[in-house]
Amino acid sequence: MKNIEQRGEITFRFIPDTRPNSQGKVKIYLRFYRRGNKIKDYNTGIWWDRPLFDTQKEIFLPRFDKDSEEQLNNIKINHMKSILNRLSAESFLMGKGLTVDDYLNQLQGYSSAEDFVHFVTKNNNYEYNKDIIQYATWRRHRSSLNRLIEFWGSNIIPIHEITLDKIKEFDAYWRSKKKKRNTITGYHKDIKKQLAEAVRKNIIRESPYDHFSFSYVDGNREALDQDEVKALMQLFYQEDILPTLKEVLRRFLFSCLTGLRISDTHQITDRMIQNGVLKYKPVKGSKYGKHIALPLPKAALSLIEGRKGKLFEPLSDKHINFLLKIIAAKAQIEKNLTYHCARDTFGTIFVELGGDIKTLKELMGHTNIKTTEIYLKMSDKRKVNLMNNFDQMFG
């Protein structure tokens, strides 16, 4: 028979029941055969739309965009296959025959909660579907999990096997791949969160991260100076600038003057502005319920004058950052222009113009003032560079 894997005399495959329930869903069975003849069905506990189960590839197809259950169910049956494959391989090496009950005993002793991939996927999907985390966070956790899978060499990761030594090896593996320290730190941060959740749910007694430390390092962050912001403003008002570039520049300059993150510029509308004050809830850290009241300078208001609904046209972050490279070249700015540079520009210029750090913390929506203090350091560094210009007088 096609698509049936040989396991000595016993073979198996996943099949849908022929009888749908009132919602049109069917049970998915694991069917065991001997020499092509059915000998037993095992109920996987999964119900699915019958047309959306590919019997050839034995995979679930999504019912809609970002279908979290489809992903979880595919993980589940792949894990079941892996268990059966391992058992068969062991029995072959030992020269021992197996019965269906041998297979079922292994499956019934398997807990999906003990597999880290299944645990993280389920937990990540739950938090996203309940609006506990935003899509960007959901995607980041999924990416970090994929990096762990790549290191592990398998999409089955027994959670009890994630030890301190494994975490150290994971760290060394990505350093050997020339990943930046802050990128690797991001992986650790996400995995640590999931293991802490496993501890909370009594799946493991302690997290290996209790004995492993990591931290971000200050990157080579550059803010635009006041003359560079003026140059961009002049470019914005040129008549020959392409409409798409003008739209990106409008958004970027608005953030230079307000400190808004790119994620927040996607959501703000004209109704959020009353008497020159923008009131909004930041996307990042939304779980804290923080709201910001941001007085808008006249230059920022002029950039959005007459706009209704969402203030900026829908463009992807990647495309915006690509167009910023073109804009930098047109404005003869040699710095590596990314959208986060706008936020750094706002924070640094705010300090240079005499703004206090406590007010800046509130305007930028930081939860910890130490995060805001980086702009003091950036401003001080710029002052040193400016003072060094005096040496050129006598060079």
Instruction: Assign residue 192 the CATH number of its domain.
Output: 1.10.150.130
Q: What pLDDT score was predicted for residue 311?
A: 95
> Based on the domain organization, do 159 and 211 belong to the same domain?
yes
pLDDT surpassing 80 at residue 9: no
Calculate mean pLDDT across residues 326-341.
92
**pLDDT tens for each residue of 157-176:** 889 999 999 999 999 999 99
In terms of domains, do 278 and 358 share one?
yes
Clarify whether residues 85 and 145 are in a common domain.
no
> Among the three residues 110, 130, 155, which one is the final residue of a domain in this structure?
110
* Identity of the amino acid at 237: Y
Distances from the Cα of 283 to the Cα of 133, 183, 198, angstroms: 10, 21, 26
* Residue 377, pLDDT score: 76
The answer to whether 212 and 167 are in contact (CB under 8 A) is yes
pLDDT at 4: 40
> In this predicted structure, what is the pLDDT of residue 102?
85
Answer with the one of 90, 110, 130 that is the final residue of a domain: 110
Same domain, 278 and 290: yes
- How does residue 111 score in pLDDT terms, banded at 50, 70 and 90? low
Does 97 share its domain with 121?
Answer: no
Same domain, 230 and 248: yes
Q: Which structural domain range is residue 257 located in?
A: 226-394
Domain end call among 217, 237, 267: 217
Please give the backbone phi and psi of residue 373, each rounded to the nearest 5 degrees, phi first. Answer: -65, -15
Domain count, the chain: 3
pLDDT confidence tier of residue 5, bands split at 50, 70 and 90: very low
Q: In this predicted structure, what is the pLDDT of residue 290? A: 78
Q: Same structural domain for residues 257 and 362?
A: yes
Rounded to a whole number of angstroms, the distance between the first and last alpha carbons of the chain is 86
Q: 284 versus 217: which is more confidently predicted?
A: 284
Flag whether the pTM goes above 0.75.
no
Q: DSSP assignment, residue 138?
A: H
- For residues 170-184, average pLDDT: 93
178 plus 131 within the same structural domain: yes
Mean pLDDT computed over 356-368: 88
Contact 231, 273 (CB under 8 A): no
The whole-number average pLDDT for the span 67-92 is: 84
Highest mean pLDDT among 39-43, 282-286, 323-327: 323-327
Q: Is the same domain home to 291 and 350?
A: yes
- Compute the average pLDDT of residues 22-40: 89
pLDDT given at position 82: 82
Higher-pLDDT residue of 275 and 99 is 275
Rounded average pLDDT over 378-387:
63
| Choice among 84-98, 148-162, 163-177, 370-384 with the minimum mean pLDDT | 370-384
Residues 310-317 have a mean pLDDT of: 93
Predicted pLDDT at 385: 57
Burial label, 232 (beta-carbon count in 10 A; 0-12, 13-18, 19+): buried
Residues 369, 238 share a domain:
yes
pLDDT at 85: 84
**Pick the residue with more confidence: 359 or 68?**
359
- Do 116 and 124 touch, CB atoms closer than 8 A? no
Kindly report, residue by residue over 189-236, the tens digit of the pLDDT. Answer: 999 999 999 999 988 899 999 999 998 776 566 789 999 999 999 999
245 and 192 share one domain: no
Neighbours of 54 (CB within 10 A): 11
Separation in Å, CA 342 to CA 18, 70, 95, 175, 221: 59, 39, 67, 30, 11
29 with 147, same domain? no
> What pLDDT, on a 0 to 100 scale, did the predictor assign at position 1?
36
Instruction: Give the residue, 243 or 66, on which the prediction is more confident.
Output: 243
Indicate if the pLDDT at residue 249 is higher than 80.
Answer: yes
Residue 390 has pLDDT above 70, yes or no: no
Q: Pairing between strand 5-7 and 10-16?
A: antiparallel
Please give the pLDDT value at position 60: 94
pLDDT of residue 252: 97
